[in-house]
Structure 1
Amino acid sequence: MFKKVLLISLVLGMLSSLSGCAVNHATAMVTPGTDIKAMKTFYVVKGPDASDKTDQIIKDYLTKKGYSATVGPELTPPYNADGVITYVDKWFWDITMYMIELTINVRNPVNNFPVAVGNSYHTSLTRLSPTEMVNEVMTNIYKEAK
C-alpha cells in the first residue's frame, strides 16, 4: 500500500511540475483610430545586441507581406517611413538558448508614440523559433487592426 501511495505521489508531482513548463500566450493591441494597414513603409530599429537577428526577421516578415522595410539604428524623429518598429526580445537557457518572449511596438514616425503593440511568450515546452515568434506577433497585430 505504501509503495502504491508513493508511486501515485511521484507521478502527480511530476505531472504538476511539467504543467508549469508549458506556458504560452500571445496578445496584440492597436490604438483606436490607427490604420496599421495603411502603413506601407517601415523603419525597423536595430536592437542593442549586435548578434541578434530579430530586426532582420521583422524586416523579412514585412517584405514578404509586400511592405517596404529598412533596418537601421534608432534615430531622432521624424523617420522617413509610415511606421517605426521597435522590439524587445528576451532569451532563456533551457538546454539550448531560445527566445522566451518577444514584444513588438509599431510607432508613429513623427513623435515615436506607440500605435500598436504585440507580445508573444512561450516557455520551453511550447517554444517557437524567432521567425515563428515574429510571425505570431505581427499576425496578431494585423488581426487586431480591424
Structure 2
Amino acid sequence: MFKQVTVITLMMLLSACSITQNIEPAEISKGSELCIIENPDVREGFLKEYQSVLSSKAISYRVVSENSVPDSCEWTSTYVARWTWDLSLYMSYAEIKVFYKGSLDGEAKYDSTRGGANMSKFIDAEPKIRELVNQLMQIKSASLFFRKFG
C-alpha cells in the first residue's frame, strides 16, 4: 500500500511540473505584409528576435502601435511574454497570435508557469522564440504552383 501511495504521489508531483507548448500554424500568403502590434510591456529582445526570424523567412513586416493599426494591415500579430525569477531569470511564458482580417489564423504558445521543479524551464529565450516563430509562420504559395507542379 505504501508503494502505491508513493508512486501515485510522485506521478502527481511530476505532472504538476509540466511545461507545455502548442502551435497552430498560420498560413500567410506569399508577398503579404505582417503588421506586428508592438507590446511595450514585453522585453525589447523578444520583438527583435521575432523580427529577425521573419526576416530570415523573407516575410515582410512592420511594427505598429496598438493605438494606430492601419486599415491596410490585413495580417496582424500580437505577442505576450513574461519572465520569472527562480534561481535565475527565465522566460516562463510566451504567446504569439497571427490574425487575418481580425480572425485568428495561427497561434504559438509556450508555458512553463507550472514548471515547478522541472529544470527544463530554464531556457534561453532567443532560441525558444525562434522555434515558436519558425513553426508558427507557414508561407502559403499560390495554388497555381500546386496545380502545375504539385
TM-score band w.r.t. shorter chain: 0.5 to 0.7
Q: Alignment identity in percent?
A: 17
Aligned match of 2:102 = 112
How far apart, in 2, do the equivalents of 1:79 and 1:102 lie?
27
Task: Pick the aligned partner of 1:26 from 14, 18, 21.
Answer: 21
Normalised to the residue count of structure 2, the TM-score between the two structures is 0.66
Matched, 1:90 2:104: no
5+ unaligned residues in a row in structure 2: which ranges?
1-6, 141-150
RMSD: 3.5
CA apart distance, 1:41: 2.1
CA apart distance, 1:17: 9.7
Aligned match of 1:135 = 130
- Contact 2:27–2:105 (CA under 8 A) maintained in structure 1: no
Matched, 1:58 2:13: no
- Count of aligned pairs between the two proteins: 134
Normalised to the residue count of structure 1, the TM-score between the two structures is 0.67
Q: Secondary structure at the match of 2:41?
A: coil
Aligned match of 2:34 = 42
Q: How far does the alpha carbon of each residue in 1:21-47 deviate from its partner, in whole angstroms, 9 at most, with x for none?
A: 8532211225xxx73253642222211
How far apart, in 2, do the equivalents of 1:116 and 1:40 lie?
15
How far apart, in 2, do the equivalents of 1:106 and 1:141 lie?
9
